[in-house]
Chains A and B, each alone.
Chain A
């Protein structure tokens, strides 16, 4: 089982460049999420989606955009990279949220450095 697949694993961007972080899941989950994790910290929610065509902002959405055209894919777009966006980005999916039988399944992350 592939689960949640994120690409690329690592990326270095110059200030002002743009890029798309890819995320795909093969578990037919409706819910998908993007979190960022700064060094030594927990996870902060950037955007989430409860199904194809539906997205919503999390705690720290500024500087990012998302789309959800299919159930499987949930790409995260950085338009004008800034040093403050240096972080590890995790994509996750679940069949529901917070309930007993719906854990979040995470990818292995994309480590992004903006210089």
Chain B
């Protein structure tokens, strides 16, 4: 059973397009982190969301935490080839370690 469901699994778009990826669970999150992983490297933290309904912006990336704290979304405006990578959401689920979703693999074609 996957505690964190991410969708879509794979997304291939053209440069300049907008996109949204999702992270969902049947459990309530205490907090949620989004990471991006580039080929051959470890994941790097993009943002942490804590409060239900919270919206955070990181340049062209907008992160939203659901009001009930069971879901989150990442929206990218005007995607660029440099956005290519694996986007992972993660939460502690009340444990002393993070559980990761299976990720959304994004390919932005120039």
Contact = CB atoms under 8 A, between A and B. Distances in A.
Indicate, yes or no, whether A interacts with B.
yes
Interface of A: 4, 31, 33, 35, 40-45, 48, 50, 56, 58-59, 90, 92, 97-100, 103-104, 106-109
B contact face: mostly helix, strand, loop, or mixed: loop
Contacts of A45: 97-99
Interface string B32-51: 01010000111111001010
B35 to A, nearest CB: 8
A31 B61 CA distance: 29
B33 A106 contact: no
A90 B102 contact: no
Nearest to A59: B99
Contacts of B98: 33, 45, 97-98, 104
17 contacts: A40-B105, A41-B103, A42-B101, A42-B103, A45-B97, A97-B95, A97-B96, A97-B98, A98-B33, A99-B31, A99-B48, A100-B31, A100-B48, A103-B33, A104-B33, A106-B44, A109-B41
Interface residues of B, number: 27
Given A31-B96, A104-B43, 19 more contacts: A33-B98, A40-B105, A41-B102, A42-B88, A42-B103, A50-B96, A56-B96, A58-B97, A90-B42, A97-B97, A98-B98, A99-B48, A100-B31, A104-B35, A104-B45, A104-B90, A104-B98, A106-B42, A108-B42
Given A42-B102, A97-B97, A98-B33, A103 B92 contact: no
A4 to B, nearest CB: 8
Contacts, number: 68
Contacts of B48: 99-100, 103
A97 B35 CA distance: 15
A107 B37 CA distance: 12
Contacts of B33: 98, 103-104
A19 to B, nearest CB: 20
A98 B30 contact: yes
